[in-house]
Amino acid sequence: MIATDMTAMAASPVGRQAVSEALAALTDQVSRNSDSMDVFFILVSGYLVFLMQTGFAMLTAGSVRSKNTKNVLLKNVLDACVGAIAYYLFGFAFAYGTEANSFLGHSDFALSGDRTDFHFFFFQWTFAATAATIVSGSVAERTSFYAYLGYAFFLSGFVYPIVSHWVWGGGWLSTIFTVGAKDFAGDAVVHMVGGFAGLAGATIVGPRLGRFDQDGRVVPMPGHSATLCTLGTFILWFGWYGFNPGSTLGISNTGPDADYTVTAARCAVTTTIAAASAGVTTLIVIKLRDHIFDLLACLNGILAGLVAITASCAWVEVYAALVIGVIGALVYIGAAMLLLMFKIDDPLEAFPIHGAVGVWGAFAVGLFARIELLTLSGYGNDNGWEGVFYGGGGRLLAANCVMIASIAGWTLVMIVPLFVVLNLVGVLRISPEMELIGNDVSKHGGAAYPDDVITTEEKQAGHTIDNLGVDDSLSRADDPTMV
């Protein structure tokens, strides 16, 4: 009966108009629902990327000595705060201004104009905050608080946004050699910027007091909490599922030429496999070298795997992700050894993990990218250019090599003079006295772990040992008759 009524309605001019209007309204509603799904997906991905700030904070805190815990935590907090202001005022406009040239955007400062894509701004800001936070580990425990704030503002407001415009905002690298440089989630754009800026900072500020002895040999300076390091690594790994899959910038497009749902799922799997393979590889290599199962090295290996796959996560087969992760771990280990050889003190090994492995990850795109997966992710087939290992020729690899060199050069050219000037005017490094006492006591109102709590825990541990009949040295130290 209903079908008969619809047929009759469609047969009349008025009925055809009503059906047409109903179909148009339905199509419009479906389109709006798809847009809403995309916005929601991007926002949730941004929330996950922002949660990575917690991971960086925990990892950094655990990797330094307890006397500098408050200091590094506050710097991580202010990376987000200062970076948000800088990116709002200048950074987003330089990266994605609607009026732009091949070098930078030059409109929409402070979100002026008719910009309403706030979800996109938020997501891109979380990436800028990530790039800035990477440096905190390289210069930890000896850098002036004021100098660090100046650096964070400069990198978030200018250095990083220019690079992101070159690759993601329609700049010159996005069209180079007709194929354009390819970096899906930011190996070169994010991790290389943070890693090379950290290298510049660590080199210019110099090593921590006592890091190398008079003969140049490395003096171990372990962090105070492997627990915090492990927690931070797992939070970062979790946040990477917003960083990589979220870089599809949508989830609703499931057309024949592009399928963001499948692409996001592939990103999650390749990210997982690369992290796992790099963690296991690092554990094995360090065991062979140092004869121990090193937890902290394994954690850094996992992070190296996550960085290594970031550029290519949407465009490579799963088995290639395993290979990329394994090589990423080896690059990390080699770069960490080179830094110590050159007497560069990087407490969190931020340059080996983010800078050196970021180079490898961006390079790997030119080797392993598949044309079918480039198309599926919405990047098109780029006239058939794909990774060298699949017969695509070297144009994509060449484009990414230019990207690597350009971003490394730009970052160093911008950051090195800043650190040199700060060093010359005496505001880059804290005094030796402050460094020996620790930043927390000298600048932040006291230790992160109150002495009475530490003393109580030590006494409780001593009494427990004494009761077990293992050692009575602690209990004897408290007994004046035993002196």
Alpha carbons 342 and 14: distance in angstroms, whole number = 82
Cα separation, 66 vs 64, whole angstroms: 6
Give the 3-state secondary structure of residue 74: helix
DSSP string, 390-440: GT--SHHHHHHHHHHHHHHHHHHHHHHHHHHHHHHTT-SB--HHHHHH-HH
- Per-residue model confidence (pLDDT) at position 355: 98
Name the token pair of 465: 């040992």
- pLDDT score, position 474: 42
State the Cα torsion 139-200-134-161 to the nearest 10°: 140
Q: What's the mean pLDDT in 323-330?
A: 98
Lowest mean pLDDT among 214-218, 250-254, 352-356: 250-254
- For residue 4, pLDDT beyond 90: no
Q: What is the token pair recorded at 360?
A: 């490898």
Domain 36-443 has CATH 3.40.50.10860: no
Cα separations in angstroms, 56 against 150, 156, 263, 297, 453: 20, 17, 27, 16, 26
Task: Give the tens place of pLDDT for each residue, 76-85.
Answer: 999 999 999 9
Nearest to 350 by CA among 342, 358, 360: 358
Domain ranges of the chain: 36-443
Taking a C-beta distance cutoff of 8 angstroms, is the pair 152, 83 a contact?
Answer: yes
The predicted structure's pLDDT at residue 225: 95
Token output for 338:
């080179």
pLDDT at residue 14, rounded to an integer: 66
Tokens describing residue 287: 């065991």
Closest CA to 251 of 50, 48, 44, 34: 34
User: Using CA atoms, how far apart are residues 407 and 164, in angstroms rounded to an integer?
Assistant: 10
| Separation of alpha carbons 125 and 131, rounded Å | 10
Taking the C-alpha atoms of residue 362 and residue 309, their distance in angstroms, rounded to an integer, is 9
Q: Which residue has the higher pLDDT, 75 or 479?
A: 75
pLDDT in tens, 334-369: 999 999 999 999 999 999 999 999 999 999 999 999
Task: Report the distance separating Cα 154 and Cα 235, nearest Å.
Answer: 27
Residue 431: per-residue pLDDT: 94
> Tell me: the pLDDT tens digits for 370-425?
999 999 998 877 666 889 999 888 999 999 999 999 999 999 999 999 999 999 99
Average pLDDT for the chain? 89
State pLDDT tens for residues 420-479: 999 999 999 999 999 999 999 989 988 898 765 455 545 555 554 455 554 444 444 444
Determine what percent of the chain is predicted with pLDDT higher than 70: 87
Does position 187 have pLDDT exceeding 50, yes or no? yes
At 28 the pLDDT is: 67
